[in-house]
């Protein structure tokens, strides 16, 4: 295999430990102990002018005194010593450096130390882990470059875990024995090496099965997207715990890392495009990683669960309903086979209550669960109980589940209904034999939901969005128009949408009674009168919309009122037939580009959390999928006697709008189309506002 640019950092041929120490419990002592007393096969050079030897190795006073150049220099030093030490490492020819200190000085010059260090590293073209991090563990090669004692329980496996927080780094790799890692990284401030770089390196390692990220911010969006695409191409799932969703959390991330946390909606769109598995906390992440590290073969169907208690079965059913987890509908023949082995009073069904009496229970369990898991509609299974070391029932169930897993090849786990259990030995055995043991009903169910969703995502063919083939001259014409103004109001925004194939109502601008009556003659009653005064972005809130006007007298009365309150500039449009109101929006994210939002429209857009987002452009298939995730999609089918909406017309509008945003991404900041009225005949953009990139306050936060 060819070398990777991060090899000198993550699997160096030689390493110098500057700040290594023989003082017990000091960071330098911990670092030296972990690196020297390991099976790492590279050359190791402790560096400390106050020590002659450390752990049996000669200790050198300076980097300049080393007998050979080294790939990697670790700087376990204070902030005051960093600048000169990094200069020495660069001069010595190092290709990589690890820095633990923050890089922040109390009394500093301009530019500050961290900026100076970053500039030095980039000019020299060296990879840096840190600053303000806890180093990394190349578990595969037994190279643990950290200054806190590593856990004795770190298992070798297929998880590459990259965390932008030191505590998040230790949360997974310093605890438990159910996750197996090939790489753990505390990336810190990512001076010259980002999450995307570590991902790319991991994707070049043959033992990587899944990537887990604790993410505060993305510092290299282009490389990050490329890494997600590479993972997707290689069928390596990516699990992300992204913080900074709330305004307070985003502000904390900014002050902590100095990087922008980003618009979370953009991350949702990114996840949708690349099949990323988003999780909300460490327990959920660990549960998902426990399943994905086993590299299961995909099977069609849904979940089967087994419980040794009727109460547990009902609790599992309740939580599955809450989390929208589907149970497999097993066939009658499966039920008949299972029923043969159940005690009287128990019913063959899914979820399955399996406990009756002690009589030959292990063999009965084995037969029942084997038949259940062999059902063609079952994709995976969980036995829910409370598993603890040395308990005869836990041991028996474990043996049964292991045998069923080997026979069927389908993922099956042991799920605990309670987490305060003594089960380390059982968990260690489960890891070694590929049987996940997961604490918590909710976490277990969510892990299988994510597993099945990822496998489904991989199966579905995703055609590339078809370019509508608009004239480049046409696009350039609108690009020039938009570049000349900050806000494009409805009177010009709707004609722009119409030029790109979006259906809009007929409209005429007016500014006095005469132009109003002339406009009315060109249109058909009923009409809608709207203010077109500059600066009024949300016309309904200002009382600037009068609908269902059916005569000239009524029109003049409304116009008189509108002129007196808001001003004479107005827009007269034909009224659109009633239908389902949908909101469409574009926001041009500064990191990941334009994305489209589909939501419940009209007055509900700000009050009902029913929206989905995707990166632009989207295909018709993606637009259909977006709609299908929304509650408002049910209204498009027609409810309580109302006619169904023209869903296909809405899909076509979504596709066209996404291409418009993509083609004009250099000038369009945001687009708000609300409402789009979807009736049985068509989908019509009834109102629109465009904000260019020079004045984009983010409408959809």
Measured in whole angstroms, the distance separating CA 573 from the mean position of its chain's CA atoms is: 42
- The topology (CATH level 3) of 1-131 is Rossmann fold (3.40.50)
β-bridge partners, 412: 381
Kindly write down the DSSP assignment for every residue of 504-532, as one continuous string.
---EEEE-SHHHHHHHHHHS-SSEEEEE-
Helix, coil or strand: residue 13: coil
∠ Cα 235 240 243 (to 5°):
165
Phi, psi of 603 (to 5 degrees): -75, -15
Walking along the chain (701 residues) 10 residues at a time, the average pLDDT comes out as 89 98 95 96 97 96 96 97 97 97 92 96 96 97 95 93 96 94 97 97 98 96 98 97 72 43 81 97 98 92 96 98 97 97 95 93 97 98 97 97 97 96 96 97 98 94 86 91 87 91 93 94 93 83 91 94 94 91 93 93 67 94 94 85 89 97 95 93 93 62 40
Question: Computed from CA positions of residues 122, 123, 126, 131, in that sequence, does the dihedral angle turn out positive or negative?
Answer: negative
β-bridge partners, 528: 573
C-alpha span between 183 and 198 (Å, rounded): 9
Residue pair 482/663 in contact by the 8 Å Cβ criterion: no
Predicted pLDDT of residue 170: 95
C-alpha span between 435 and 19 (Å, rounded): 42
Predicted pLDDT of residue 486: 86
Phi, psi of 497 (to 5 degrees): -60, -40
Residue pair 132/191 in contact by the 8 Å Cβ criterion: no
Residue pair 183/148 in contact by the 8 Å Cβ criterion: no
Residue pair 529/572 in contact by the 8 Å Cβ criterion: yes
550: phi > 0 → left, psi -120 to 50 → alpha, else beta; which? alpha
DSSP 435: -
Tell me which architecture the domain covering 506-575 has in CATH. 2-Layer Sandwich (3.30)
Largest CA distance in the chain: 101
∠ Cα 632 635 638 (to 5°):
165
Can you give 293-360 as a three-state secondary structure string? CCCCCCCCCEEEEEECCHHHHHHHHHHHHHCCCCECCCCHHHHHHHHCCCCCCCCCCCCEECCCCCCC
Helix, coil or strand: residue 390: coil
CA dihedral 314, 431, 158, 169 (to 10 degrees): 80
Give every CB contact of residue 77 below 8 A, 6+ residues apart in sequence.
18, 19, 85, 101
> Is 462-503+578-701 the same fold as 296-459?
no
∠ Cα 283 285 286 (to 5°):
65
- The topology (CATH level 3) of 462-503+578-701 is D-amino Acid Aminotransferase; Chain A, domain 1 (3.30.470)
User: What interhelical angle do 264-274 and 221-233 show, nearest 10?
Assistant: 30
C-alpha span between 330 and 378 (Å, rounded): 7
Helix, coil or strand: residue 219: coil
Residue pair 21/29 in contact by the 8 Å Cβ criterion: yes
Kindly write down the DSSP assignment for every residue of 449-461, as one continuous string.
HHHHHHHHHHHS-
∠ Cα 95 220 615 (to 5°):
150
Q: Is 0.85 topped by the overall pTM?
A: yes
C-alpha span between 100 and 102 (Å, rounded): 7
DSSP 680: S
Please report where in the chains the tokens 């849904």 appear, as a residue.
302
C-alpha span between 164 and 195 (Å, rounded): 8
C-alpha span between 359 and 292 (Å, rounded): 36
Residue pair 97/74 in contact by the 8 Å Cβ criterion: yes
β-bridge partners, 215: 242
Predicted pLDDT of residue 695: 57
Of the chain, the end-to-end C-alpha distance in Å amounts to 45
C-alpha span between 172 and 437 (Å, rounded): 15
Domain ranges of the chain: 1-131, 296-459, 462-503+578-701, 506-575
* Token pair of 191 as six digits: 């001076």
C-alpha span between 36 and 56 (Å, rounded): 9
Residue pair 240/278 in contact by the 8 Å Cβ criterion: yes
DSSP 151: P
- The CATH H-level (homologous superfamily) assignment of domain 296-459 is Succinyl-CoA synthetase domains (3.40.50.261)
């Amino acid at each position: 295999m060819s070398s990777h640019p991060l090899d000198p950092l993550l699997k160096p041929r030689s390493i110098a430990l500057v700040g290594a120490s023989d003082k017990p419990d000091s960071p330098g002592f911990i670092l030296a102990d972990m690196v020297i007393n390991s099976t790492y096969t590279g050359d190791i050079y402790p560096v400390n002018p106050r020590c002659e030897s450390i752990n049996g190795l000669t200790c050198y006073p300076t980097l300049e005194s080393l007998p050979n150049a080294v790939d990697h220099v670790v700087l376990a030093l204070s902030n005051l010593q960093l600048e000169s030490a990094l200069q020495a490492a660069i001069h010595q020819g190092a290709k990589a450096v690890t820095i633990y200190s923050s890089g922040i000085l109390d009394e500093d010059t301009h530019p500050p130390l961290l900026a100076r260090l970053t500039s030095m590293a980039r000019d020299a073209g060296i990879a840096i882990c840190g600053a303000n991090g806890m180093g990394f563990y190349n578990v595969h090669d037994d190279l643990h470059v950290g200054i806190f004692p590593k856990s004795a329980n770190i298992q070798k496996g297929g998880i590459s875990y990259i965390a932008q927080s030191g505590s998040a780094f230790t949360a997974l790799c310093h605890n438990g024995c159910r996750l197996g890692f090939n790489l753990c990284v505390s990336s810190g401030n990512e001076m010259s090496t980002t999450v995307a770089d570590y991902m790319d390196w991991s994707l070049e390692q043959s033992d990587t099965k899944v990537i887990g990220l604790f993410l505060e911010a993305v510092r290299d969006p282009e490389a990050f997207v490329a890494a997600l695409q590479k993972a997707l191409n290689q069928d390596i799932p990516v699990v992300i715990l992204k913080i900074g969703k709330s305004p307070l959390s985003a502000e904390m991330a900014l002050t902590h890392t100095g990087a922008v946390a980003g618009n979370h909606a953009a991350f949702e769109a990114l996840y949708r495009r690349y099949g990323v598995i988003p999780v909300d906390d460490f327990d959920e992440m660990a549960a998902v990683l426990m399943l994905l590290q086993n590299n299961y073969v995909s099977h069609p169907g849904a979940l089967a669960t087994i419980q040794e208690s009727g109460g547990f079965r009902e609790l599992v059913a309740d939580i599955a309903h809450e989390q929208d987890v589907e149970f497999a509908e097993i066939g009658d023949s499966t039920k008949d086979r299972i029923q043969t082995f159940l005690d009287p009073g128990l019913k063959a069904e899914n979820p399955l209550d399996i406990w009756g009496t002690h009589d030959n229970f292990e063999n009965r369990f084995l037969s029942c669960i084997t038949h259940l898991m062999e059902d063609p509609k079952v994709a995976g299974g969980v036995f829910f109980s409370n598993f603890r070391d040395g308990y005869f029932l836990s041991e028996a169930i474990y043996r049964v589940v292991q045998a069923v897993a080997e026979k069927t090849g389908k993922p099956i786990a042991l799920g605990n209904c309670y987490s305060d259990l003594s089960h380390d030995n059982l968990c260690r055995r489960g890891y070694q034999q590929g049987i996940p043991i997961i604490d918590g009903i909710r976490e277990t169910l969510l892990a299988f939901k994510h597993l099945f969703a990822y496998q489904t995502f991989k199966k579905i063919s995703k055609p590339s969005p078809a370019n509508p083939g608009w004239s480049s001259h046409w696009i350039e014409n609108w690009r020039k128009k938009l570049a000349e103004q900050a806000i494009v109001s409805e009177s010009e925004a709707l004609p722009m949408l119409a030029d790109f194939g979006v259906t809009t109502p007929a409209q005429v601008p007016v500014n006095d009674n005469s132009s109003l009556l002339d406009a009315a003659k060109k249109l058909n009653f009923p009409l809608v009168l709207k203010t077109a005064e500059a600066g009024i972005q949300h016309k309904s809130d200002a009382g600037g919309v009068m609908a269902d006007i059916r005569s000239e007298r009524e029109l003049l009365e409304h116009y008189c009122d509108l002129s007196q309150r808001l001003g004479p500039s107005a827009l007269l449009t034909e009224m659109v037939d009633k239908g389902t109101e949908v909101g469409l929006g574009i926001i041009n994210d500064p990191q990941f580009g334009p994305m489209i939002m589909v939501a419940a429209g009209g007055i509900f857009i700000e009050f009902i959390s029913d929206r989905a987002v995707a990166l632009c452009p989207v295909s018709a298939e993606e637009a259909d999928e977006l709609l299908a995730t929304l509650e408002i999609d049910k209204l498009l089918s027609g409810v309580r006697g109302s006619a169904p909406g023209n869903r296909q017309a809405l899909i076509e509008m979504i596709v066209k709008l996404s291409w418009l945003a993509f083609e004009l991404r250099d000038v369009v900041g945001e687009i708000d189309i609300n409402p789009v009225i979807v009736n049985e005949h068509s989908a019509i953009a009834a109102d629109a506002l465009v904000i260019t990139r020079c004045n984009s306050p983010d409408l959809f936060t």
